[in-house]
Amino acid sequence: MIYSTAAEWRDAPQKRVLFYGMSGLGKTHLSNMLRGAGDWFHYSIDYRIGTRYMGELIADNAKAHAMQVPFLRDLLLSDSIYIGSNITFNNLAPVSTYLGKPGAPERGGMPIGEYRTRQEQFRRAEINALGDTGYFIERAARLYGYPHFICDTGGSICEWVDGNDPADPLLTELSRHCLMVYLEGSKAHTAELIRRFDRAPKPMAYQPEFLTDAWSAYLREKGCTESDVDPDGFIRWTYARALAHRKPRYEAMAPWGVTLTPRDVEAITDAASFTDAIATALERRAPAPI
């Protein structure tokens, strides 16, 4: 770790952290709070994905839909209108909309083959965006003069790394630049996430092997064909399973850095209390296994 003791962390002239954990635990909230302090650069992985690595795919998908409307088709062909996504740190809907849901097209779904293609596009985009962390640390200091840095990751980071592998290339690269900070969830938090998702299901990224198993199991359990799948029904059915699948993967990443409990996060109200929380987490961290 780039800070091995609380004293090293407190005395560091450049504090660099990477937040990871389930969606809804406060990664972006903490990032926005620190950015508001004035001397922290906020690097959003999902924003980078949507603007740099999938921006053209997202825009082309919107154009393809617009081309099916004669009025919009004529305007597009004559370069009379422009179609693009308006992604912000707090509105990443264009990315999730592009990912979509598998199932019956007449119910808002897409063929499973196309869905897998988009999942793979997202996987590559997220890995590339995570790999850009070191570049943005240097850029934030050189161009803008920010001494401190936050990498705000998406919930699917755990799908592309193996925390049990001491030589995992992506974790090795990230931990070389940042202190990995795991925002730990609770059973109550998981139950609330499932309740909210059931009310408003949203697309998400899955590890390819998990998706294959979940898709096959869903078809068997529901006794339906691919063209009969209710897209929202599938992702609702899959969500709790996806959280259970991710939990041990997050936990395997924890020894690469420090862990903040829900109580720790609740106590963070400004940059000073954040510094204190990380210092405490470093003090209580058990020695890493040899």
Q: What digits encode the pLDDT tens for the residues 269-285? A: 999 999 999 999 999 88
Q: What digits encode the pLDDT tens for the residues 52-102? A: 999 999 999 889 889 999 999 999 999 898 888 888 777 788 899 999 999
First-last CA distance in the chain: 14
Residue 242's closest CA among 119, 77, 128, 150? 119
Q: What rounded mean pLDDT belongs to the chain?
A: 93
Question: What pLDDT score was predicted for residue 82?
Answer: 85
Q: Does 249 score more than 70 pLDDT?
A: yes
Mean pLDDT of 214-219: 97
Q: Does 290 score more than 60 pLDDT?
A: no
Q: Does 288 score more than 60 pLDDT?
A: no
Q: Does 289 score more than 70 pLDDT?
A: no
**How many percent of the chain have pLDDT more than 70?**
98
Q: What digits encode the pLDDT tens for the residues 93-144? A: 889 999 999 999 999 999 999 999 999 999 999 999 999 999 999 999 999 9
What is the signed CA dihedral for 12, 185, 132, 257, rounded to 10 degrees?
A: 40
Q: 20 and 27 in contact (C-beta within 8 Å)?
A: yes
**How many percent of the chain have pLDDT more than 90?**
80
Question: What pLDDT score was predicted for residue 287?
Answer: 58
Q: What is the C-alpha separation between 106 and 227, in angstroms, rounded?
A: 10
Question: What pLDDT score was predicted for residue 226?
Answer: 92
- DSSP code for 159: G
Mean pLDDT of 146-156: 96
**Dihedral-angle region of residue 286 (phi above 0 means left; psi in -120 to 50 means alpha; beta otherwise):** beta
Pick the more confident residue, 86 or 233. 233
Q: What is the largest CA-CA distance in the chain?
A: 65
Partnered with residue 19 across adjacent β-strands are 152, 181
Cα separation values, 232 from 57, 208, 254, 284, Å: 23, 19, 32, 42
Question: What pLDDT score was predicted for residue 256?
Answer: 97
Q: Does 45 score more than 80 pLDDT?
A: yes
Q: What is the C-alpha separation between 178 and 233, in angstroms, rounded?
A: 39
Q: Where are the alpha helices (DSSP H) in the chain?
A: 6-11, 27-36, 45-48, 55-66, 70-77, 93-99, 112-131, 133-144, 169-177, 187-199, 208-222, 231-253, 262-266, 271-284
Listing from the earlier edge strand, what are the strands of the sheet with 148-152?
40-44, 148-152, 16-20, 179-183, 258-260
Residue 62's CB is within 10 A of a number of other CB atoms, namely: 16
Question: What pLDDT score was predicted for residue 187?
Answer: 86
The reported pTM is 0.92
Structure tokens at 14: 């450049």
What is the signed CA dihedral for 228, 231, 234, 238, rounded to 10 degrees?
A: 160
